[in-house]
Structure 1
Amino acid sequence: MTEAQWLTCKRPEELFESSHCTDSRKRRLFACACARKVLHYLKDLRFQEALRASESLADGKLSEEQLKEFQKAAAKAGAHFVGMDAEPEKCAALSVVRACDQSIDPLCRTASQAQLAKGGIYTSKMAAEALRQAVLLRDIFGNPFRPAIFSPEWRTETAVPLAQQMYDARDFGAMPILADALQDAGCDSADVLDHCRGAGPHVRGCWVVDLVLGKA
Structure 2
Amino acid sequence: MHFQAFFGTFTQLSAEKTLLPSLTSVLPELAPSLGLTSQALYERARALIRLELLPSAEGRGRRSGAQAEPAHIALLIIAVMATDNLSEIDGRVRRLAQAKIIGKQRASRCPITDATNFHDALTALLSDKVSVSRDTDTLIEISVSRFEPKAWIEYFAWPGLKEPVHTEFGETDQRRFDVLSVSSELPHGAFLAIKEIASRARESKL
* TM-score w.r.t. length of structure 2: 0.30
Whose strand fraction is larger, Structure 1's or Structure 2's?
2
Larger radius of gyration: 1
Whose helix fraction is larger, Structure 1's or Structure 2's?
1
